């Protein structure tokens, strides 16, 4: 029987923790779970034994503990069954060798839950009062946001500097041509500040002989990467497949829980996906090595199984993420998986198999050519033996570094390096071209999901199983947005983070947060008492809460004078803080309600944002419609406001793909700030989708088709030509991509264009 997750939890609208009674939690039945609990209790009364088998981690142990509490009738034996893969063998073994509920594991989950509840429920109301209602603070979430804000501050403060390099195109007696780069001047690293310096070097070396000096060749070996743990799976799925962390975990959960393989029936394809151990079981090692031996030459199989080092914080409770049976190749299961699940399974399968393959071997060559006081160098790399690279390739992060480089090693093959021609000391080469090249230093890149997860893991912040939720929360709260796959903090995120750092320096301290994670791990291992851990944290934290309630800046009350004057009444304009950040308002409010959107420039000045005029006209007065932004996102408003208060949702230029509907798709925003796209004919047509649709040419009739979804998961809704024989794939109720629809929260002024109409 399925409990469908937790059955009890802390109350959603109260602290639910009795601090004075030793941080005693007050659990209550989760909404909708009362019937499930009654069914479990009824079944338990009829059974001599009950086996509790939730996921094998802290959350799973908490589920098992709470179910045991609610079904315990004093007569039925209650056991804990732990398995890491959903296969018949693993489940039989778990049932035959049951254990007791691990109280240390449960206490670690309970301590984390209470700790996060204390931080969230104590700080969030302060943010509602001082900044904006609906905001949240989190012990890990807010520190992750700090990393994003600090990276953005580095980018803003960065001053690009010019520098030059000198390169020579050269040829030898045999192909291929190659490139020589100036590396040293008078024995020191070459520093070329400007074009004049580069031109001087070019002139000094243009007609000089280029004679080979030292030639050094060496062979290097590269070990394969360890099989995936949770964090590395999220990172590599982001880099290779462009999956979000949440998407990766959702797909991995499906692969773990089981896929119907036709005659074979439902089978879990991978082991448990929440793990920080790179260990593979003896069974898995034997299976993978046998597979490699049968599919590859003997040179691809090492003499001994590979063992990978574990991180200091690795619990090693589970195996690494691997296929449950390596004989189920990606090709074999392809008919039973959708495109996304197939891509993730292939990634996991390739990584696990590659981890037990032979090293890749590469020959590196370095050629030095001294020209007077200048030293030119050419480098080349040639793959001698692919080894594990036969099935697994390196990928790069947002900073252009491969996974190997992130771990402190060189990539197997460097970009731009290839085979050099045969060169020997004393050989003269022909220079066909020599020139200076201009470069500019670059700021550090913004974090991608993979980069942020990597940084959180490196600093010991949070646990891999929480990264997906952290990343979703900072976006849902409007603290950060994704632009071209990287995170940029919003004004709200910047301001909130800065105020939290000022008022709660300990909570926002990266090292302190990492230390707390270590102590939670110690609770799991039975080394630290969970109540004492909470007590040491709470006493100084509560003092900070009281101080912040009184002293934290109140952005809602702040009024900043500006040089602007109101174009309606002539009064001075001031900067205020509202639901959507800073805005310009008339100081004569409430008599004059004139407002204007503003943006803060890099030098700290306020600039008024001009409305974007569209080619659409107002149906009431005929004036042009302009694009404005309100609390529900962008919308169209009459340029004649306030005389004309017409407004309507913003169309995106795509007809509604629902068969027979004459509406068009418009941009909207949910109550939580998530954009979605729905039909303008609502409520007659309830088409809704979370990813912005676009039009491409229909391959049947040459007109337009509606496309939606990320590159890895495109959906074609159908051709917009009514008589086109193309069959739409639209099915009502299946195309909404987990988007929270519009919800009314309180009353909204319909005469205020900032409300979205």
What confidence score (pLDDT) does residue 750 get?
A: 29
What confidence score (pLDDT) does residue 106 get?
A: 97
Q: Average per-residue pLDDT in the chain?
A: 87
What confidence score (pLDDT) does residue 310 get?
A: 65
pLDDT, average across residues 569-583: 89
- Whether 583 maps to a domain, the answer reads no
Of all residues in the chain, the percent with pLDDT exceeding 90 is 65
Structure confidence at residue 747 as a pLDDT band (50, 70, 90) = very low
User: What does the pLDDT look like over 55-110, one tens digit per residue?
Assistant: 888 999 999 999 999 999 888 999 999 998 888 888 999 999 999 999 999 999 99
Q: Which residues pair with 428 in a beta bridge?
A: 211
Among 270, 258, 284, 290, which Cα is nearest to 229's?
270
Q: Give yes or no: residues 16 and 84 share one domain.
A: yes
pLDDT for 402 beyond 70: no
**Domain containing residue 291: CATH number:** 1.10.290.10
- Whether 576 maps to a domain, the answer reads no
What confidence score (pLDDT) does residue 732 get?
A: 33
Long-range contacts of 89-96 (CB under 8 A, 24+ apart): 90/324, 91/53, 94/51, 94/53, 95/51
Q: Give yes or no: residues 372 and 429 share one domain.
A: yes
Secondary structure (3-state) at 284: helix
* Residue keyed to tokens 């004078």: 561
* Least confidently predicted of 36-50, 73-87, 192-206, 384-398: 384-398
Torsion of CA 513, 518, 521, 523, to 10 degrees: -90
pLDDT for 742 beyond 70: no
**Could you give the angle at which helices 58-71 and 34-46 cross, rounded to 10 degrees?**
70
Of residues 33 and 704, more confidently modeled: 33
Between CA 85 and CA 609 the distance in angstroms is 56
What confidence score (pLDDT) does residue 673 get?
A: 65
* Residue keyed to tokens 């499930």: 36
Q: Most distant CA pair in the chain: distance in Å?
A: 97
pLDDT, average across residues 165-193: 96
Between CA 691 and CA 708 the distance in angstroms is 6
Contact of 213 with 368, CB cutoff 8 Å: yes
Between CA 421 and CA 170 the distance in angstroms is 10
Contact of 619 with 646, CB cutoff 8 Å: yes
Structure confidence at residue 144 as a pLDDT band (50, 70, 90) = very high
Of residues 536 and 483, more confidently modeled: 536
Of residues 698 and 526, more confidently modeled: 526
pLDDT, average across residues 656-679: 82
Structure confidence at residue 408 as a pLDDT band (50, 70, 90) = low
CB hemisphere CA count around 6 (13 angstroms): 17
What confidence score (pLDDT) does residue 756 get?
A: 27
What confidence score (pLDDT) does residue 418 get?
A: 80
Between CA 690 and CA 476 the distance in angstroms is 14
Alpha helices in 47-140 (DSSP H): 58-71, 88-96, 103-130
What confidence score (pLDDT) does residue 287 get?
A: 95
Q: Give yes or no: residues 174 and 283 share one domain.
A: no
Q: Give yes or no: residues 696 and 723 share one domain.
A: yes
CA distances, 380 to each of 167, 419, 549, 683, 757 (Å): 15, 5, 63, 65, 64
The number of domains in the chain is 5
Catalytic residue at 589?
Answer: no
Last residue of a domain, one of 101, 129, 144: 101
Secondary structure (3-state) at 250: helix
Dihedral of alpha carbons 293, 290, 310, 446, sign: positive
Last residue of a domain, one of 522, 551, 580: 551
Long-range contacts of 341-347 (CB under 8 A, 24+ apart): 341/251, 341/254, 341/255, 341/259, 343/241, 343/712, 344/237, 344/241, 344/243, 344/248, 344/251, 344/252, 344/255, 345/255, 345/269, 345/270, 347/228, 347/233, 347/236, 347/237, 347/240, 347/241
What confidence score (pLDDT) does residue 653 get?
A: 84
Whats the size of the chain, residue-wise? 757
What is the token pair recorded at 319? 């195996």
What is the token pair recorded at 396? 């790069």
Structure confidence at residue 401 as a pLDDT band (50, 70, 90) = low
In which domain, by residue range, is 172 found? 162-221+363-382+417-440
Q: Which residues pair with 608 in a beta bridge?
A: 598
pLDDT for 507 beyond 80: yes
Among 430, 379, 425, 431, which Cα is nearest to 213's?
425
Contact of 569 with 588, CB cutoff 8 Å: yes
Choose from 233-237, 482-486, 657-661 the range with maximum mean pLDDT: 233-237
* Residue keyed to tokens 């996102």: 633
pTM equals: 0.79
Contact of 210 with 421, CB cutoff 8 Å: no
Kind plus residue range of the DSSP H or E element containing 503: helix 491-503
- Tell me, what DSSP letter sits at residue 32? T
Q: Give yes or no: residues 152 and 175 share one domain.
A: no
User: What does the pLDDT look like over 453-495, one tens digit per residue?
Assistant: 999 999 999 888 889 999 989 998 889 998 888 999 998 999 9
What confidence score (pLDDT) does residue 403 get?
A: 65
Of all residues in the chain, the percent with pLDDT exceeding 70 is 88
Q: Give yes or no: residues 751 and 619 share one domain.
A: yes
Q: Give yes or no: residues 373 and 467 share one domain.
A: no
Q: Give yes or no: residues 629 and 738 share one domain.
A: yes
Kind plus residue range of the DSSP H or E element containing 679: strand 675-679
CA distances, 211 to each of 24, 215, 364, 378 (Å): 80, 11, 20, 13
- Whether 604 maps to a domain, the answer reads no
- Whether 397 maps to a domain, the answer reads no
- Whether 319 maps to a domain, the answer reads yes
**Domain containing residue 47: CATH number:** 3.40.50.140
- Whether 572 maps to a domain, the answer reads no
pLDDT for 743 beyond 80: no
Q: Give yes or no: residues 312 and 374 share one domain.
A: no
Q: Give yes or no: residues 627 and 715 share one domain.
A: yes
Burial tier of 321 (Cβ tally within 10 Å: 0-12, 13-18, 19+):
buried
- Whether 198 maps to a domain, the answer reads yes
Q: Give yes or no: residues 275 and 175 share one domain.
A: no
Among 366, 446, 449, which Cα is nearest to 414's?
366
Catalytic residue, from 65, 256, 272, 345: name it. Answer: 272
pLDDT, average across residues 200-229: 94
pLDDT for 659 beyond 90: no
- Tell me, what DSSP letter sits at residue 677? E
- For the chain, how are helix, strand and coil distributed in percent, rounded to 5? 35, 25, 40
Contact of 721 with 698, CB cutoff 8 Å: yes
What confidence score (pLDDT) does residue 733 get?
A: 33
- Whether 569 maps to a domain, the answer reads no
Last residue of a domain, one of 521, 551, 581: 551
Q: Give yes or no: residues 633 and 742 share one domain.
A: yes
Of residues 89 and 599, more confidently modeled: 89
Kind plus residue range of the DSSP H or E element containing 44: helix 34-46
User: What does the pLDDT look like over 710-727, one tens digit per residue?
Assistant: 544 556 666 666 677 665
**Domain containing residue 434: CATH number:** 2.70.20.10
């Amino acid at each position: 029987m399925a409990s469908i997750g937790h059955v009890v939890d802390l109350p959603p609208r109260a602290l639910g923790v009795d601090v004075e009674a030793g941080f005693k939690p007050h659990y209550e039945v989760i909404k909708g779970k009362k019937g499930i609990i009654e069914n479990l209790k009824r079944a338990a009364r009829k059974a001599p034994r009950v086996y509790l088998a939730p996921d094998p981690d802290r959350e799973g142990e908490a589920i098992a503990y709470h179910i045991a509490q609610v079904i315990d009738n004093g007569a039925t034996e209650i056991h804990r069954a732990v398995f890491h893969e959903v296969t018949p063998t693993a489940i039989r073994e778990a049932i035959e060798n049951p254990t007791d509920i691990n109280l240390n594991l449960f206490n670690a989950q309970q301590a984390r839950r209470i700790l996060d509840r204390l931080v969230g429920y104590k700080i969030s109301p302060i943010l509602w009062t001082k900044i904006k209602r609906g905001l949240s603070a989190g012990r890990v979430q807010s520190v992750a946001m700090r990393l994003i804000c600090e990276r953005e501050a580095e980018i803003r403060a960065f001053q690009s500097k010019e520098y030059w390099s000198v390169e020579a195109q050269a040829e030898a007696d045999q192909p291929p041509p190659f490139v020589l780069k100036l590396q040293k001047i008078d024995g020191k690293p070459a520093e070329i500040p400007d074009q004049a310096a580069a031109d001087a070097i070019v002139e000094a070396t243009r007609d000089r002989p280029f004679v080979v000096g030292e030639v050094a060749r060496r062979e290097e070996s590269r070990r394969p990467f360890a099989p995936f743990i949770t964090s590395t799976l999220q990172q590599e799925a982001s880099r290779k497949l462009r999956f979000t962390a949440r998407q990766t975990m959702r797909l991995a959960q499906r692969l773990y829980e089981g896929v119907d393989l036709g005659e074979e029936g439902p089978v879990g394809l991978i082991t448990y996906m929440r793990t920080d151990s790179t260990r593979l079981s003896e069974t898995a090692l034997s299976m993978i090595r046998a597979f490699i031996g049968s599919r590859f030459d003997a040179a691809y199989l090492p003499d001994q199984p590979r063992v990978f080092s574990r991180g200091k914080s690795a619990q090693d409770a589970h195996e690494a993420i691997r296929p449950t049976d390596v004989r189920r190749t990606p090709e074999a299961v392809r008919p039973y998986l959708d495109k996304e699940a197939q891509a993730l399974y292939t990634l996991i399968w390739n990584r696990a198999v590659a981890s037990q393959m032979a090293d890749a071997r590469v020959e590196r060559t370095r050629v030095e050519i001294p020209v007077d006081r200048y030293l030119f160098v050419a480098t080349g790399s040639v793959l001698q033996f692919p080894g594990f690279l036969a099935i697994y390739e390196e990928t790069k992060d947002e900073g252009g570094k491969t996974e190997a480089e992130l771990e402190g090693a060189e990539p197997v093959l460097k970009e731009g390096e290839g085979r050099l021609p045969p060169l020997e000391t004393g050989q003269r080469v022909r220079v066909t071209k020599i020139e200076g090249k201009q470069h500019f230093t670059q700021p550090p890149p913004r974090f991608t999901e993979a980069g942020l997860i990597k940084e959180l893991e490196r600093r010991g912040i949070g646990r891999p199983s929480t990264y997906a939720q952290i990343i979703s929360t900072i976006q849902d709260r409007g603290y950060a947005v994704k632009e071209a796959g990287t995170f940029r903090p919003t004004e709200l995120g910047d301001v909130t983070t800065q105020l939290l750092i000022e008022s709660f320096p300990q909570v926002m301290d990266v090292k302190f947060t990492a230390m707390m994670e270590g102590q939670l791990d110690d609770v799991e291992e039975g080394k630290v008492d969970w109540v004492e851990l909470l007590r040491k944290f709470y006493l100084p934290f509560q003092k900070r809460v009281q101080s912040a309630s009184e002293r934290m800046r109140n952005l809602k009350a702040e009024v900043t004078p500006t040089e602007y004057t109101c174009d309606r009444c002539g009064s001075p304009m001031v900067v205020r803080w509202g639901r959507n950040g800073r805005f310009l308002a008339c100081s004569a409010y409430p008599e004059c309600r004139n407002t204007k959107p503003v943006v803060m420039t890099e030098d700290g000045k306020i600039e008024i944002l001009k409305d974007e005029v569209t080619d659409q006209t107002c149906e009431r007065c005929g004036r042009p419609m302009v694009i404005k932004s309100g609390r529900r996102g962008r919308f169209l408003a009459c340029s004649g406001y306030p005389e004309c208060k017409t407004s309507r949702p913003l169309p995106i230029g795509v007809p509604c793909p629902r068969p027979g509907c004459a509406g068009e798709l418009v941009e909207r925003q949910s109550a939580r700030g998530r954009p979605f796209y729905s039909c303008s004919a609502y409520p007659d047509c309830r088409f809704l989708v979370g990813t912005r649709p676009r039009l491409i040419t229909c391959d049947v009739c040459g007109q337009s088709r509606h496309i939606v979804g990320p590159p890895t998961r495109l959906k074609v809704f159908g051709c917009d030509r009514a008589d086109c024989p193309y069959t739409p794939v639209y099915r009502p109720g299946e195309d909404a991509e987990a988007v929270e629809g519009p919800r009314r929260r309180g009353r909204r002024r319909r005469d205020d264009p900032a409300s979205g109409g």
